[in-house]
Structure 1
Amino acid sequence: MARVGVQVTEMAGEAAVQSPRRRSRLASLERLLGLAVDIPAAILVAAEIVILFAGVVARYGLHRPLIWSDELASILFLWLAMLGAAVAFRRSEHMRMTAIVGSAGPAMRAWLDLVAVCAALAFLAMIVWPAYDYAYEESFITTPALQISNMWRAVALPVGLCLMAAFALLRLVRAADYLKVLTAALSVAAVVGLFWLAQPYLRPLGNLNLLIFFVGVAGFCVFAGVPIAFGFGLAIFGYLALTTHTPVMVLVGRMDEGMSHLILLSVPLFVFLGLLIEMTGMARAMVAFLASLLGHVRGGLHYVLVGAMYLVSGISGAKAADMAAVAPVLFPEMKQRGAKPGDLVALLAATGAQTETIPPSLVLITIGSVTGVSIAALFTGGLLPGVVLALTLCTLVWWRYRHEDMSHVRRATASEIGKTFVIALPALALPFVIRYAVVEGIATATEVSTIGIVYGALVGLVVYRRFDWQRLFPMLVETAALSGAILLIIGTATGMAWGLTQSGFSRSLASAMTGLPGGAATFIAVSILAFTILGSVLEGIPAIVLFGPLLFPIAHAVGVHEVHYAMIIILAMGIGLFAPPFGVGYYAACAIGRVEPAEGIRPIWGYLLALLAGLIVVAVFPWISIGFL
């Protein structure tokens, strides 16, 4: 018996040794697979920059357009979107609403995280075969310029889905508590099974199924912490498969249509541009110049923060990139002057909402792609609303800091201001270079980002002498991951929007909204309330893709200009996005500013009220949005 006991003890010890070894081997496998995805994704980002910039040079410079450049860029773009989505899945960077999950205890939070992975895996497993069928159907189509089978483009969908499924399985296998994995998987399987068994009872319900799936299933998934893209995917897949006779392959087609719109190619390119200006020191130069102008006045650096976010937003187009470029430069000096960290992060979040309309905003580009509104008009109309909200924020800053002691702060001399201006001039010129290229027709809204990238790289190399080649690959991978996360949401939300349209919901919504008493004014007020809520739950891009195609025609019908309406709902969503406790943008600002979220909750409400006052001004006076069109 003693010998048996010793043997059991030895076997247990061996298992304890093997378990870490096994996890180590799985981690190595995941790293190798991750590298096999990261490298092509980074190459695709670089290839898109080269192809689009070559198209601009050939068309505008050599007057010999490359007829194949847009087609090749479109083929590679779908691959970039799917591989980027796989990179984001491996890095756990798909957008999710974690307000409720984060408030749970450690054990429950870990279990809900596993449920989120299992739910995502369930969607991937159900959609991968229709994606394969879709790619096969596309093999019969030949592209017009390159004369190759369209299957080479469409096969990116099943490949990307399989890669995400592989990362999901690896994450589940690597989990330390297999009992939690089993219960999470069984919970998801039980819910899916119950819906499948309920199919005969769901079909007769008609449009009530929209409430069950698009509100119930999607809402439950989002609040349970399932990544938004997969929550949307489960909702529309369940709706089509269980309540209609529509082939599920149609959903894959709608996802393809939503993700591969060439206008959206500017998303990864502007994301990369935002990372580039931070790396080359262009953002630091702009902030230093503004600080030399206003650093000596009461609340001066707070004004600088507002102005710097306005300028940087005109370059990067991505809020996370904007905040990451400005906060590390300004926060240390502002803290030295006695500013409270909570107030700093509150203002940073407020400026993130304030600059949502400033071109080249990704939300503006998304609106243009899904509603057909001119992106050039949106770029023109977005400048003044940002100024109005900046003025309301600055008014509150003046009130809060009107008694600040500035006796210890030295005012910059004229020569110092002149020196910082000369240093910042190449960086300050970038927004004007981008705008000039669009207005003069040198490049489209998609291509113009490549001009900014080339300009930024040259300025970094020649003027500022700051170009870290070692950071280039991580920047390309980060661009692919963020873009993939955004584009997968757009793809599944496009499927949901199509389902809503086909069900007749859009007609019902149109008749209800157009029948509101008070006409355009009531319609705008209801839209502000709705998109503020949507912005806090879904973020801007998913909400726009889902509801933009439905509401913009209604806005036109009640006499609201499309560009004016776009500015109103973007600003409303921005307020929701950066408003605690649900707005994920607020938590992103806290992470970038390295400040605990609890510290900024009190001061941010004043800034949000200032933003709301500015939004009301923009809504009441349409000229602010459309006066220069």
Structure 2
Amino acid sequence: MATILLLSFFVLLLVNVPVSFSLAIASFGALLYGGLPIGLVVQKMTAAMDSFVLMAVPFFLLSGHLMARSGIARDIVQFADAIVGWLRGGLAQANIAAGTLMGGMTGSAVAEAASTGAALIPPMIDRGYDRPFSAAVTASASTLSVVIPPSIPMIIFGVVTGVSVVDLFIGGLVPGLLMALALMVTSWILAVRRGYQKGPRPSARSIAAATRASVWGLLMPLVIIGSIRYGIATPTEASVVAVLYGLVVGMVVYRTIRPADLPGIVLESMVTTGMVLLMIAAASLYGLIVTREQLPQEAAGIILGLTSDPYLVLILILGIYLVAGMLLDLGANIIILVPVLWPLVQKVGIDPVQFGIVTVIGLAIGLVTPPVGACLFVTCGIARTNLLEASRATVPFILALIAVVLLIIFVPALATWLPYSAKS
């Protein structure tokens, strides 16, 4: 059954069948081949979506769309420019800072790449930044959105493994800030080498004005993370609060969202939610076959035949993630790879939160690497630049992100201290 599953899955991908349908069709074919009851299809797919944690996905997506439509993204970009725009390569630094702040709102890297890119890439080009660099720094900064909570990939990881989504959310804060720092240092070095100019140093009055204008957007991550961190709300409950917050800000404070706009915003969120849930449902069949065929045990045996050192095991897994990220979407990779690797991780004693953070960041790098670099495609379109040139420009940023992942591998406390200290 495993051969039928894997072979048919990759053939379907080669003919451009969507990942969720490829998983479902390949799994269904493998079940037929193995003579298992077809009733398992409906049973497993329904049970996979019957999860309280998964209710957070549509609400966080909806809140992100509300905040993007309200105009808060524009104010966040202006705030970031006021705070760090005076550094060497100021607009690139503002781009990364905006990505850090936007991560707590959208939870989606592609959404962040589109909103920040539309606001910052044209001014970057006008001020002399070359187009590939502008696309590369924006795409790289968008990866922060899947690490800094709320994070849809972390919710998927939590559902697949049973690891606490709260721990994953809180555990992503420090690594997310380290990623931002690494990207900013890289941008500064490149800006110095290329002679990019500093922005004007802001006055206290301009910083205060930018802060006042963006205060509603800045409060959004605090509302989400604070309510989860202090046990006021579960991630699912916090996602509902985020939607209500987005509605109030968009319709009452900014008045940029009209009642007539709501059906379109909801429909957009529903389409994305359907894609995510269908992938999870299809993956439940995949997981059934993977477990039955003992693929996790075989994978563990292969890796343990090379090393049983937890650090080296994680480095090998990171290598798998970097290759897989070039071929498949982040969410699909979590669903396909994590069930196979999870028993191995438990066997060698790797902390589950650390593994979750390494997984999300390692696979998020694939968002800026072709041929499936969704964020890079978006920013290349905005910058009107060649994908190959932009891919070359991402190399320093990719190396910086890999360095952060390696740091988390060798210093697990960077991912684990904050969530575990919250329980003590």
- Structures share a fold, TM > 0.5? yes
User: How many Å separate the matches in 1 of 2:109 and 2:60?
Assistant: 11
Check if 1:503 corresponds to 2:282.
no
User: How many Å separate the matches in 1 of 2:315 and 2:343?
Assistant: 17
User: How many Å separate the matches in 2 of 1:623 and 1:488?
Assistant: 35
> Does the CA contact (< 8 Å) of 2:250 and 2:257 recur in 1?
yes
Who is 1:520 aligned against?
A: 310
> Does the CA contact (< 8 Å) of 2:121 and 2:382 recur in 1?
no
Write the letter of the residue equivalent to 1:218: F
Pick the structure with greater CA Rg: 1
- Residue 222 of structure 1 and its aligned partner are, at CA, apart by 0.8
Who is 2:30 aligned against?
A: 239
- Residue 354 of structure 1 and its aligned partner are, at CA, apart by 4.0
Which of 189, 197, 212 is the aligned partner of 1:406?
A: 197
Who is 2:143 aligned against?
A: 353
- Matched position secondary structure for 1:401: helix
Which of 218, 222, 247 is the aligned partner of 1:428?
A: 218
Who is 1:459 aligned against?
A: 249
Who is 1:229 aligned against?
A: 20
- Matched position secondary structure for 1:627: helix
- Matched position secondary structure for 1:559: coil
User: Residues 237-276 of structure 1: matches in 2 within 5 Å?
Assistant: 237-242=28-33, 244-276=34-66
**Segment of structure 1 superposing worse, 581-590 or 483-492:** 581-590
| CA separation of 1:602 and 1:473: change in aligned 2, threshold 3 A | same
Which of 271, 275, 280 is the aligned partner of 1:485?
A: 275
Check if 1:371 corresponds to 2:145.
no
- Structure 1 residue runs of 5 or longer lacking an equivalent are 1-208
Who is 1:216 aligned against?
A: 7
User: How many Å separate the matches in 1 of 2:381 and 2:38?
Assistant: 39
Q: 1:522-575: CA deviations, max 9, x gaps?
A: 211111011222222221212222232332232122021000011111111111
Who is 1:611 aligned against?
A: 401
- Residue 236 of structure 1 and its aligned partner are, at CA, apart by 0.8
User: How many Å separate the matches in 2 of 1:246 and 1:253?
Assistant: 13
Write the letter of the residue equivalent to 2:299: L
> Does the CA contact (< 8 Å) of 2:140 and 2:394 recur in 1?
yes
- Residue 595 of structure 1 and its aligned partner are, at CA, apart by 4.3
State the TM-score, normalizing by the size of structure 1.
0.64
Write the letter of the residue equivalent to 1:526: L
Who is 1:579 aligned against?
A: 369
| CA separation of 1:584 and 1:464: change in aligned 2, threshold 3 A | closer
Which of 494, 497, 504 is the aligned partner of 2:284?
A: 494
| CA separation of 1:590 and 1:261: change in aligned 2, threshold 3 A | farther
Write the letter of the residue equivalent to 1:239: A
Who is 2:103 aligned against?
A: 313
The alignment of Structure 1 onto Structure 2 pairs a total of residues equal to 418
User: How many Å separate the matches in 1 of 2:61 and 2:256?
Assistant: 19
Who is 2:351 aligned against?
A: 561
User: How many Å separate the matches in 2 of 1:237 and 1:389?
Assistant: 40
Q: 1:61-97: CA deviations, max 9, x gaps?
A: xxxxxxxxxxxxxxxxxxxxxxxxxxxxxxxxxxxxx
- Residue 435 of structure 1 and its aligned partner are, at CA, apart by 1.3
Who is 1:439 aligned against?
A: 229
User: How many Å separate the matches in 1 of 2:62 and 2:386?
Assistant: 28
Who is 2:88 aligned against?
A: 298
> Does the CA contact (< 8 Å) of 1:516 and 1:522 recur in 2?
no
> Does the CA contact (< 8 Å) of 2:89 and 2:197 recur in 1?
no
> Does the CA contact (< 8 Å) of 2:5 and 2:29 recur in 1?
no
- Residue 600 of structure 1 and its aligned partner are, at CA, apart by 1.0
User: How many Å separate the matches in 1 of 2:8 and 2:196?
Assistant: 54
- Residue 593 of structure 1 and its aligned partner are, at CA, apart by 5.1
- Residue 432 of structure 1 and its aligned partner are, at CA, apart by 0.6
> Does the CA contact (< 8 Å) of 2:103 and 2:148 recur in 1?
yes
| CA separation of 1:595 and 1:248: change in aligned 2, threshold 3 A | farther
- Matched position secondary structure for 2:236: coil
- Residue 366 of structure 1 and its aligned partner are, at CA, apart by 0.7
Who is 2:128 aligned against?
A: 338
Who is 1:205 aligned against?
A: none
Write the letter of the residue equivalent to 1:210: A
User: How many Å separate the matches in 1 of 2:141 and 2:351?
Assistant: 26
- Residue 516 of structure 1 and its aligned partner are, at CA, apart by 3.3
> Does the CA contact (< 8 Å) of 2:121 and 2:135 recur in 1?
no
User: How many Å separate the matches in 2 of 1:550 and 1:272?
Assistant: 31
User: How many Å separate the matches in 1 of 2:40 and 2:110?
Assistant: 34
State the TM-score, normalizing by the size of structure 2.
0.93
Write the letter of the residue equivalent to 2:287: A
Q: 1:318-365: CA deviations, max 9, x gaps?
A: 112222222222222222211122211111221223442211110111
Q: 1:589-619: CA deviations, max 9, x gaps?
A: 4345554424412211221112112221121
- Structure 2 residue runs of 5 or longer lacking an equivalent are none
Superposition CA RMSD, Å: 1.9
> Does the CA contact (< 8 Å) of 1:537 and 1:577 recur in 2?
no
> Does the CA contact (< 8 Å) of 2:315 and 2:406 recur in 1?
no
User: How many Å separate the matches in 2 of 1:623 and 1:355?
Assistant: 21
Who is 1:476 aligned against?
A: 266
User: How many Å separate the matches in 2 of 1:276 and 1:305?
Assistant: 21
> Does the CA contact (< 8 Å) of 1:388 and 1:618 recur in 2?
no
Write the letter of the residue equivalent to 1:389: M
- Matched position secondary structure for 2:192: coil
> Does the CA contact (< 8 Å) of 1:279 and 1:468 recur in 2?
no
> Does the CA contact (< 8 Å) of 1:352 and 1:574 recur in 2?
no
Write the letter of the residue equivalent to 1:478: E
Q: 1:229-286: CA deviations, max 9, x gaps?
A: 11112211111102x1211220222122223322112111111111111111112111
| CA separation of 1:260 and 1:586: change in aligned 2, threshold 3 A | farther
User: How many Å separate the matches in 1 of 2:67 and 2:271?
Assistant: 19
- Residue 469 of structure 1 and its aligned partner are, at CA, apart by 3.4
- Residue 382 of structure 1 and its aligned partner are, at CA, apart by 0.6
- Residue 405 of structure 1 and its aligned partner are, at CA, apart by 5.2
Write the letter of the residue equivalent to 2:366: G
Which of 296, 318, 321 is the aligned partner of 1:531?
A: 321
Structure with more contact order per residue of length (Cα contacts < 8 Å, sep ≥ 6):
2
